[in-house]
Amino acid sequence: MRIIRAKDYEDMSRKAAAVLAAQVTVKPDCVLGLATGSTPIGTYDCLAQWCKEGVLDFSRVSTVNLDEYRGLDHENDQSYYYFMNKNLFSRINIDPAHTHVPNGMEPDPEKESKRYEELIRSLGGIDIQLLGIGHDGHIGFNEPNSFFDKYTHCVDLTEMTIEANKRFFASADEVPRQAYTMGIGTIMHARKLLMIVSGEDKADIAAAAFCGEVKPEVPASIIQFHPDVTIIGDEAALSKIPE
């Protein structure tokens, strides 16, 4: 595990973007695992700018996203497909057919979970997976549990996650109660993991996840067992982790 301390959010975003850019440069037809939420927006801004400047070429890249709300279609402005298209895909020269997000409109959880796992395998696996971390330690939508979910599945969102995400909706009542998400096993099969964390409000969970006991009650703690993981955080987020 490599922990890189950034000065602030902007510095964290540039450093994370540089890691992803290096992957694209070394392997132009790589498979990027991507994440949503407020934390990676700065990283996506950097990637889009570098593509615009001609520094990066995404024409042969494929992407797979961690998760999607169940019940939201691609046109819904709160869907993660919409988020990714707005913040990254529409701003880079990637083939839309090579961008993949779980199908939130599939009513059969078993069918969609199996389809998404087979899709990832058909692409040859994920070269590098970008991750954020929730206040309760969730990664993707893998919530605190008594066990680690292995594969893509449909999950009931916790009240903490619903509360954290309600700022994106008109009210908490509009936040979907379920989502499709890659499982912990799916995430851990990525060849590399890149975790980004920002803000003083993430300091406690960052310390627990990166330095504490590995347990399913803190899902992100599992990354301690991955052979190639890089954590990039700003000073506030990493303030409770020893140098």
- pLDDT tens digits, one per residue of 173-198: 888 899 999 999 999 999 999 999 99
pLDDT of 172 reads 82
pLDDT of 200 reads 97
- Residue 2 pLDDT level (bands cut at 50, 70, 90): very high
Greater confidence, 158 or 67? 67
Q: Is residue 158 part of a domain?
A: yes
- Tokens (6 digits) for 29: 């037809």
Q: Is residue 238 part of a domain?
A: no
- Residues marked as catalytic: 67, 136, 138, 143
- Residue 234 pLDDT level (bands cut at 50, 70, 90): very high
Widest CA span of the chain, in angstroms? 47
Three-state SS at 188: helix
- The domain spanning residue 134 has which CATH number? 3.40.50.1360
Closest C-alpha among 148, 124, 126, 117 to residue 222: 148
pLDDT of 66 reads 97
pLDDT of 87 reads 98
Q: Is residue 233 part of a domain?
A: no
pLDDT for 169 beyond 90: no
Report pLDDT digits (tens) over 9-54: 999 999 999 999 999 999 999 999 999 999 999 999 999 999 999 9
Q: Is residue 197 part of a domain?
A: yes
Q: What's the domain range around 39?
A: 9-228
Report pLDDT digits (tens) over 197-229: 999 999 999 999 999 999 999 999 999 999 999
Greater confidence, 150 or 168? 150
Q: Is residue 241 part of a domain?
A: no
First to last CA, the chain: 13
pLDDT of 187 reads 97
The gap from C-alpha 126 to its chain's centroid, in whole angstroms, comes to 12
Where do we find the tokens 């292995």? 150
Average of per-residue pLDDT across 141-162: 90
Dihedral (Cα; 47, 51, 55, 56), 10-degree rounding: 80
pLDDT for 168 beyond 90: no
Q: Is residue 105 part of a domain?
A: yes
Q: Is residue 3 part of a domain?
A: no
As for how many domains the chain has, the answer is: 1
Q: Is residue 191 part of a domain?
A: yes
- Tell me what percent of the residues of the chain surpass a pLDDT of 70: 100
